[in-house]
Amino acid sequence: MSNIVDPLVEQIAERVRAERERRRWTLARLAEASGVSQAMISRIERGESSPTAVVLGKLSAAFQLSIASLLSRAEGAQDSAEPVAAGHRPAGTAEWWRDPGTGYRRRQITGPRFPAEVAEIRLPAGARVPYPAAAFAFVRQVVWVLDGRLTFHDGDTVHELGAGDTIELGEPTERVFANTTDAECRYAVILARGTQP
């Protein structure tokens, strides 16, 4: 029934290594820029460790890529020369990436040529996923709660969001996506591409 797949771990490993090498960064340089240890980055790049959502947030911030871009590129979507219409996937067939630390699940809805990134997130009961301010420094983003309740920490401000609620993110700050209920929360993240700090 579930289409959660582990091959994404290997694809993420290749993507992180390719991004680091494209920039000609050493492991030490990426560790310094991201705040993730060299040992952890090395394990991720070898496919020996599945990164958590928090670690992906730190790496994407260091690369100045959104998490959505890092994951969609890991899925191979960025390398496709086919137009989106010719290579579309039926609804519900996109691969799910699962955070090994929280059980948080994410899948990309849009392809790389669409002018915005749309991802569906499923946040389990009790899960809490923090991101550094740098992860938001180069994007415009809207969060739309589809089912359940989301406690969203935007810096020092806390928003309690229910099904149908949206929030447009402003200036970069540390943010936390939390589910303080006993039921799963499902939300969409809509992110504008192409803006740089």
pLDDT at position 86? 38
Judge whether 152 and 143 are in contact, CB under 8 Å.
yes
Q: Is 197 within a domain?
A: no
Question: Tens digits of per-residue pLDDT, 103-143?
Answer: 999 998 887 778 888 999 999 999 999 988 888 877 789 99
Helices (H), the chain: 7-22, 27-34, 38-45, 53-63, 67-74
Higher confidence at residue 187 or residue 79?
187
Q: Is 33 within a domain?
A: yes
pLDDT at position 94? 66
State the CATH number of the domain containing residue 167.
2.60.120.10
Q: Is 80 within a domain?
A: no
Looking at the fold, whether 107 and 187 belong to one and the same domain comes out as yes
Looking at the fold, whether 128 and 181 belong to one and the same domain comes out as yes
The count of structural domains within the chain is 2
With bands split at pLDDT 50, 70 and 90, how would you rate the model's confidence at 26? very high
State the CATH number of the domain containing residue 40.
1.10.260.40
With bands split at pLDDT 50, 70 and 90, how would you rate the model's confidence at 7? low
pLDDT exceeds 70 at position 79 = no
Judge whether 78 and 72 are in contact, CB under 8 Å.
yes
Mean pLDDT check: name the lowest of 173-177, 180-184, 190-194.
190-194
With a pLDDT cut of 70, the percent of the chain lying above it is 81
Q: Is 87 within a domain?
A: no
Looking at the fold, whether 64 and 118 belong to one and the same domain comes out as no
Q: Is 82 within a domain?
A: no
Q: How many whole angstroms separate alpha carbon 159 and alpha carbon 8?
A: 32
The model carries a pTM of 0.73
Q: Is 127 within a domain?
A: yes
Give the structural domain span for 177: 92-192
